[in-house]
Amino acid sequence: MTELILIRHGETDWNRELRFQGQVDVPLNATGHEQARRLAERLGAERLAVDHLVCSDLIRTRQTAQPVLNTLLPALNLDDVVDASLREQSFGLVDGMRVDDIKLQHAGAWENWLRFDADGGMPGGETTRQFHTRVMDAVRRLAQQYAGKTLMVVTHGGVLDMVWRTAQGVGLHGPRQSDIPNAGFNRVRLNGDTIELLHWADVRHLADLPPQPVYDQKKLLVESAAE
């Protein structure tokens, strides 16, 4: 068995603006840095035993991972733990765009997106099925590589959604159903092809910070139906 501690990166300005960040390299904002600091402080206070850490190669995950490395694994160099397979889903043509702008400039693509079909995606981007395959291949590879150990993975909201869906046996079709807060604490156990959720969306260390921006896919569906 392998335990994975899964962390979504801290907040960025584009999170606050509800942009499709995708694979655009956006840094943390001041709140995101504070979230990362508090996460590291909490994990250090709890003396969490972590054998290794990996993170996406995008800067928002690297900046989130650095305080954790400094606290839990100071001998590790951040440049040696990045893994591009842990990147967020590519949204192709609309990477970096706000929802309202996508509706205006790419109305057809937006309507297709709202179907949340497993084999659908934004033009030039990954389909959900392609993304899921990439993510789960990476997760299972890491679980085998660090079998019997505890590995921390600092990554993106979409990546965590793919893990949650797989663990819960929820299909790839339909809007996101799980809470995935920035810098939240999530823990899963992998045993072969089985994924068990141990903790999910724990944000006790962020309790007095401003409310987080939420990209609510179910809400988008309701709003679209009302238009």
Q: pLDDT per residue over 114-144, tens digit each?
A: 999 999 999 999 999 999 999 999 999 999 9
Residue of 3, 9, 33, 205 marked active site: 9
Residue of 3, 33, 88, 156 marked active site: 88
Residue 121 lies in a domain: no
Residue 100 lies in a domain: no
Q: pLDDT per residue over 160-191, tens digit each?
A: 999 999 999 999 999 999 999 999 999 999 99
Residue 99 lies in a domain: no
Q: What is the pLDDT of residue 217?
A: 84
Residue 42 lies in a domain: yes
Binding residues for substrate: 8-15, 60
Residue 180 lies in a domain: yes
Q: What is the pLDDT of residue 216?
A: 80
Question: In whole angstroms, what is the distance from residue 55 CA to residue 86 CA?
Answer: 7
Q: pLDDT per residue over 136-168, tens digit each?
A: 999 999 999 999 999 999 999 999 999 999 999
Amino acid type, 118: A
- Mean pLDDT, the chain, rounded, equals 95
Question: In whole angstroms, what is the distance from residue 138 CA to residue 24 CA?
Answer: 20
Domain that holds residue 164: 2-89+127-218
Residue 223 lies in a domain: no
Question: In whole angstroms, what is the distance from residue 192 CA to residue 115 CA?
Answer: 32
Residue 146 to residues 4, 197, 225, Cα–Cα distance (Å): 10, 18, 46
Question: What is the secondary structure of 162-182 as a DSSP string?
Answer: HHHHHHHT--SSS---S---T
Given a cut of 80, is residue 105 above it in pLDDT?
Answer: yes
Number of domains the chain contains:
1
Catalytic-residue membership of 227: no
Residue 210 lies in a domain: yes
Catalytic-residue membership of 9: yes
Residue 218 pLDDT level (bands cut at 50, 70, 90): confident
Residue 181 lies in a domain: yes
Give the CATH number of the domain where residue 146 resides.
3.40.50.1240
Average pLDDT over residues 194-218: 93
